Structure 1
Amino acid sequence: MTDLSGEKPSLAAEAPGAVDQPLAVLVTGPGTAIGRALIRYLYYDPAIRYIWAVGLEPRPYFFDQYDTQRFRYSRVDITRLRELKNLFYSSEFKDIEFDAVCHLAIRNRPDEQHPDMAHKLNVQGTRNVLDFSLEAPTIRKFIFRSSHAVYRADPMNPVFLDEQADLNFSPDADRWVRDRVDAELLCRAKMDDPRLKIVVLRFSNLVGRGVHQYMNAYINSRVPLRPAGFNPMVNLLHVRDAVRAIELALAKQDVAGVFNIVGKETGPLSEICRLNGHPARSAPAGFVLKTLYRIQRRLRMTDFYYEADPNRLVYPILMDGTRAREVLGYEPQTHVELG
């Protein structure tokens, strides 16, 4: 899979619509692959004057390279109102006068070991960060990391789903899927706020080293299994393109709304697995496939959670990226290197 460790930040020169004055940005979920990459790119962007990252973990070693005059890391549990209140109401926070929040602290794949913790982070954490951002007088932009997982995999779907397509409101959907939909709806419900511009970015299948995501776990299974008779088309998104979409959303100060963020690579699921060095095998859908994946997880052969959304291995979910191209100026630029 693609390794981002050697990438040199260059988005500042590429992003059109630069802001009038440098921004101060609060980033949640900095320990994720996309959070780490975003902070690296923002740090070297002259349009960014200060970055404050908050996460549950002790300060990661890879943040030691940044000058404390422009970067700060704090341990904050965003599911706890008191901890967020202490952050937003602190004199240090107020003195910086933050302009934007990038909310990336989302559990992006099912967690069968701790489903309640995932629910608290995805839903309650999002509600808390959004509410405090709405109250902060200087914050004008809130960017939320959503996913194409909010769409329903259905045989009646058009080839490409635009932002108006139906979401997965099925009562039978896995709790992880319902949480992702609920978290996004919390953001969309506040889009009429006159001051805060809320941007929801629905990312396609993020893949890469260190990416904890549903499809990334699937293609990196030792023996990927797919439902017999089905081979859906899948779109892959490089972390660098995801970061570029966030920077473009930051630069376009007056832009708000929902955007599909697609990747450069699209291909049949079986071919993607083959190129990644783990050829897919077919098995009967339903109980058999569910049982085989449970066995694989117990043997530590995979982190993939088939039961979360089994139809995603049957029907394609390909998003239409027209709106992101026309409004944000976003086009996928980076090829995903498999294998």
Structure 2
Amino acid sequence: MGKVVLVTGVARQLGGRFVRRIQRDPEVDRVVAVDAVAPEHHLGGADFVRADIRQPTIARLLAEHSVDTVVHMDVTGTPLGSGSRATVKETNVIGTMQLLGACQKSPTVKRLVVKSSTNVYGSAPRDPAVFTETTPPKSLPSGGFAKDTVEVEGYVRGFARRRPDVAVCVLRFANILGPGADTPLAAYFSLPVLPTVLGYDPRLQFVHEDDVIDVLRIASHEPERGTLNSGTFNITGDGVLLLSQCARRLGRPTVPLLMPAISWVGSALRTVGMTDFSPEQLRLLTHGRVVATNQMRETLGYRPKFTTAETFADFARSRGPGLLPPEALAGAVDRIAALPALGGGHPPTQSAN
């Protein structure tokens, strides 16, 4: 008999994509797709069950379908539809607690995969240059999605201690981008003008949504020979980009603002629904964050198809040209760089021929 996989958070674009992908694997017999909201996208041949993971009914679903693999993707930073931040937090934290409680009592569950985030490391001025999976944050997140992920991972570690027979994999994804990305950072980069923090040019990493699907699939199956897919792994594309590089590649002008001003602008943008410019996102756009991926490569055995730069390029193409076309902006930078230094040299002469 094949595997029975239960996936949470399927009403979101990424959850729906994973459901459609995992059911094509020959070793998967059935996929049970769960969300409190009916998805607008197609889920293939999966069995959709409209259920709220904050309620104890999730335990009944595990028993009814004899689920052996749980992929928990309903840990997110933004509400779906008209939901509120309070609803998101309840789903992230209370929903995870209910799901883990159900998994703990289930005799059939043998594998648990949790979609987490590198937000657990926070963003602070005295952060290390690179975070590994065992590096403690300099300053624990005080609120928002980052705090939710810290709490979620704490509950997952407790579950792993109580059920050592279950293979548990926590995937800490960096900022997810791609043509279909609907994250707060994607919304920020879609603004016609990018507000930035005066005096800061943070380092950023991105993981492509295609790589997210691939690595979730790897974590959901038995490990291949020479690899191990239980534990905690940072997941991101190779390399880093500065925020200023991102703006140039998008062709979008930046407006450097002092911290109080950008906080006010962020509140205004959040109020009108243009982007979730939360305090944690503001800290990321101030101090940045870079993580190591040695464990992803050497232990999990996964090498992303897209680098950070390639991920951002694919995202940028999907958003169309900005106010300043990247080619024109690059040409202007080259022309300025070619100007003679003040006080020395002469402008280049043109031949009459």
Give yes or no for TM over 0.5. Answer: yes
Using the alignment, how far apart are the partners of 2:145 and 2:135 within structure 1? Answer: 20
Using the alignment, how far apart are the partners of 2:102 and 2:137 within structure 1? Answer: 27
Letter in 2 for 1:118: V
Using the alignment, how far apart are the partners of 1:218 and 1:188 within structure 2? Answer: 33
Partners of 1:227 and 1:284 within 8 A in 2: yes
How many residues end up aligned between the 2 structures?
305
Q: Which of 1 and 2 has greater Rg?
A: 2
C-alpha deviation, 1:247, in angstroms = 1.4
| Structure 2 equivalent of residue 314 of structure 1 | 286
- TM (norm. structure 1) is 0.83
Partners of 2:269 and 2:277 within 8 A in 1: no
Query: Is 1:289 the counterpart of 2:262 in the alignment?
Result: yes
Q: Secondary structure at the match of 2:172?
A: strand
Partners of 1:168 and 1:181 within 8 A in 2: no
Question: Larger RCO: Structure 1 or Structure 2 (Cα < 8 Å, ≥ 6 residues apart)?
Answer: 1
| Structure 2 equivalent of residue 233 of structure 1 | 203
Using the alignment, how far apart are the partners of 1:150 and 1:122 within structure 2? Answer: 14
**CA-atom RMSD, angstroms?**
2.3
Partners of 1:59 and 1:75 within 8 A in 2: no
| Structure 1 equivalent of residue 69 of structure 2 | 100
| Structure 1 equivalent of residue 23 of structure 2 | 43
| Structure 2 equivalent of residue 270 of structure 1 | 244
| Structure 2 equivalent of residue 179 of structure 1 | 148
Residue 273 to residue 23, structure 1, CA distance change in 2 (3 Å): farther
Map 1:24-43 → 2, pairs under 5 A: 24-43=4-23
| Structure 1 equivalent of residue 131 of structure 2 | 161
Partners of 2:115 and 2:171 within 8 A in 1: yes
Structure 2 spans left out of the alignment, 5+ residues = 318-353
Which segment drifts farther, 128-137 or 104-113?
104-113
Letter in 1 for 2:60: N
Q: Give per-residue Cα distances to partners, 1:90-142, cap 9 Å, x unaligned.
A: 3xx1xxx3221000012224899722211110101011111111221121110
Q: 1:72 aligns with which of 36, 39, 47?
A: 47
Q: Secondary structure at the match of 1:328?
A: coil
Using the alignment, how far apart are the partners of 1:238 and 1:324 within structure 2? Answer: 15
C-alpha deviation, 1:221, in angstroms = 2.4
Q: Give per-residue Cα distances to partners, 1:57-78, cap 9 Å, x unaligned.
A: 1253412xx23xxx20010001
Q: 2:110 aligns with which of 120, 125, 140?
A: 140
Partners of 2:59 and 2:99 within 8 A in 1: no
Residue 293 to residue 155, structure 1, CA distance change in 2 (3 Å): closer
Residue 113 to residue 194, structure 1, CA distance change in 2 (3 Å): closer
Q: Secondary structure at the match of 1:194?
A: coil
Using the alignment, how far apart are the partners of 1:136 and 1:52 within structure 2? Answer: 16
Q: Secondary structure at the match of 1:58?
A: coil
Query: Is 1:56 the counterpart of 2:56 in the alignment?
Result: no
Using the alignment, how far apart are the partners of 2:171 and 2:210 within structure 1? Answer: 14
Residue 207 to residue 194, structure 1, CA distance change in 2 (3 Å): same
- TM (norm. structure 2) is 0.80
Using the alignment, how far apart are the partners of 1:298 and 1:305 within structure 2? Answer: 10
Q: Give per-residue Cα distances to partners, 1:18-71, cap 9 Å, x unaligned.
A: xxx7422100001222211211211222232211100111253412xx23xxx2
Residue 306 to residue 282, structure 1, CA distance change in 2 (3 Å): farther
Query: Is 1:23 the counterpart of 2:15 in the alignment?
Result: no
Residue 250 to residue 307, structure 1, CA distance change in 2 (3 Å): same
Q: Secondary structure at the match of 2:182?
A: coil
Partners of 2:63 and 2:106 within 8 A in 1: no
| Structure 1 equivalent of residue 159 of structure 2 | 190
Q: Secondary structure at the match of 1:159?
A: coil
Structure 1 spans left out of the alignment, 5+ residues = 1-20
Using the alignment, how far apart are the partners of 1:79 and 1:151 within structure 2? Answer: 26
